[in-house]
Amino acid sequence: MGTPGLVIGFALSWAAGAAVLSPLLWRGASTRWTTLAGYGFAAGLVLTTLVMRFTFAARLGLSFGVTAAGLVLVALSGIGVTVLMQRRGLLRDRAEPSPLHPEATAWSRALWYALLALTITRIAMLTLEAWWRPLFPWDAWETWGPKTKIWFETRDLNNLYGHFDNGYPPGINLIQVWANLGLGAWDDARMNIAWPLLLGALALAAYGQARQVGGSPLAASILVYLLASIPMLDAHAALAGYADLPLSVTFGLAAIAFFVWVVTDDWRQLVLAVLFAAMAPLYKIPGIAWGLTLAPALLVALLERVPGRRALRWVVAIVIAVLAAGAYLYAKQRNFTLNFYKAHLSVNSSSSFVLDNYFVLDNFHLLWYMAVAALICWWRAAITMPLRPATTLIAAGVAFLVVSFYFTNSAAWWGDYGSINRATLHLAPALLFYLFLLSRNSRSPTARTVPA
């Protein structure tokens, strides 16, 4: 089939994802197509892997035609639900706002177009590199690539040999198998085209969500450019095949939807956040922990809505209870192990590695400098009621990184900073959108945005 089959395959995935999310994101003429397109592609890849697993379990075979038929059925179901909700008046229909404010100045329009061009060029160059470069990164061909090769050649998801049965979730492998099924032959370069496309989906979704919370087109374009130019994110898009970029995008989209719900009170965004948080473990086991970071943030948000309750007191009490339970479990079982990680109470001497990675090396540009400066300047806005749940989510994510870096055996793999970078990458998109939200709300810390 070649390249046309590859394009058709990912187009089907995209259409199925967008159709399934339409009941949450479709608002007639006022639909922000960037949000639907970005979230739709990310969801479509997950749907594709689930359809492949279902068709194999149902003994329908692992083939392009069967999976494509399944995706078409999923898309039609999503469209049918959307039409039904539209006819019942459950979806609003308003005029589409202009992509640029009418009062925008000439220089802001010019800067908007310049940033748009730079972002598109950047993602296009990363796509070409992923298209041309054979499977290159270490874990990509040592951990995931062989399993993909075995499954593609045998068309049997139960067929693994020794070391390649490594216990990792199959999401990454099934995306690569899907690409090769569309191509009609094994191609260890083009099978990774989904990675830069996921970065593009993140950019589209972030732009739409930034506009949803009241950001100007120029501010949203600055956010998207900063996202698309994070060096570590770009490296994982070009040197494709790891699970970290799909996990980063999926959790990032979950966190962004949660932030939008906090600001707008649109329940659909909360559903979107929970759905994408549930998708994260399908790519990598740490996705479980990242998804759970929404729990304390959601708790804070719900307690804020309970009259006469002091949310912070409740959260502190719950945190103390969790810590006490953790201490008890540790006393009962000295070494707690999850996947390859073993927890311990002694602190790793890892400050220099972590601080160098964040503040000296170029892996995340100025992201962590921006985070420190933002919290120094806008700490009051960060702890006010509108943003308190969002701040809690970021704090939970940072706490997870601190525990991983300082209280597990992960330091054994830090010689090349690889583990630090890959773990931090999962939080980077969420952190950048949070800084955008913080900068916006610092100007009106008690404001809430009504969904458009």
Confidence of residue 452 (pLDDT cuts 50, 70, 90): very low
Q: What is the pTM of this model?
A: 0.90
Whether residue 255 lies inside any domain: the answer is: no
Whether residue 396 lies inside any domain: the answer is: yes
Whether residue 392 lies inside any domain: the answer is: yes
Determine the Cα–Cα distance for residues 57 and 49; give it in Å rounded to an integer. 12
Cβ(9)–Cβ(69) below 8 Å: no
Residue predicted with more confidence, 130 or 321? 130
Reported as a single tens digit per residue, the pLDDT across 93-136 is 554 444 445 556 888 889 999 999 999 999 999 999 999 999 88
Range of the domain at 128: 2-89+108-242
Residue predicted with more confidence, 285 or 38? 38
327 in the same domain as 202: no
Whether residue 273 lies inside any domain: the answer is: no
Reported as a single tens digit per residue, the pLDDT across 400-443 is 888 877 777 666 655 566 778 888 999 999 999 999 999 887 66
Number of other residues whose CB lies within 10 A of the CB of residue 434: 23
Whether residue 252 lies inside any domain: the answer is: no
355 in the same domain as 219: no
302 in the same domain as 210: no
Q: How much is the pLDDT for 444?
A: 56
352 in the same domain as 214: no
- Average confidence (pLDDT) over 385-393: 88
Final residue belonging to a domain, choices 201, 227, 242:
242
Q: What is the count of structural domains for the chain?
A: 2
154 in the same domain as 6: yes
Reported as a single tens digit per residue, the pLDDT across 59-88 is 888 999 999 999 999 999 999 988 888 777
Cβ(273)–Cβ(389) below 8 Å: no
Determine what percent of the chain is predicted with pLDDT higher than 90: 53
323 in the same domain as 232: no
356 in the same domain as 234: no
Q: Is the pLDDT of residue 329 over 60?
A: no
Secondary-structure percent of the chain, ordered helix, strand, coil, rounded to 5? 70, 0, 25
Whether residue 287 lies inside any domain: the answer is: no
Confidence of residue 325 (pLDDT cuts 50, 70, 90): low
309 in the same domain as 218: no
Q: How much is the pLDDT for 96?
A: 45
* Cβ burial, residue 23 (10 Å; 0-12/13-18/19+): buried
Question: 3-state class of 167 per DSSP?
Answer: coil
DSSP element (H, E) containing 336: strand 336-338
145 in the same domain as 30: yes
Q: Is the pLDDT of residue 359 over 90?
A: no
Q: Is the pLDDT of residue 312 over 70?
A: no
Cβ(205)–Cβ(39) below 8 Å: yes
Reported as a single tens digit per residue, the pLDDT across 16-45 is 999 999 998 987 666 789 999 999 999 999
Reported as a single tens digit per residue, the pLDDT across 156-183 is 988 876 666 777 899 999 999 999 999 9
Contacts for 142 with CB less than 8 Å, ≥ 6 apart: none
217 in the same domain as 299: no
Whether residue 452 lies inside any domain: the answer is: no
Per-residue tokens: 57? 């379990």
Q: How much is the pLDDT for 136?
A: 84
Which neighbouring-strand residues pair with 165? none
**Helices 171-183 + 244-264 axis angle, to 10:** 110
Rounded to the nearest 5 degrees, what angle is found at the Cα of 285, between the Cα atoms of 281 and 291?
Answer: 45
Mean pLDDT of the chain: 85
Final residue belonging to a domain, choices 221, 242, 263:
242
Cβ(242)–Cβ(422) below 8 Å: yes
Q: How much is the pLDDT for 168?
A: 86
Q: How much is the pLDDT for 408?
A: 72
Whether residue 130 lies inside any domain: the answer is: yes
426 in the same domain as 326: yes
Determine the Cα–Cα distance for residues 83 and 94; give it in Å rounded to an integer. 16
Final residue belonging to a domain, choices 242, 259, 285:
242
Question: 3-state class of 25 per DSSP?
Answer: helix
219 in the same domain as 78: yes
DSSP state of 286: T
Q: How much is the pLDDT for 242?
A: 93
Distance, first Cα to last Cα, the chain? 43
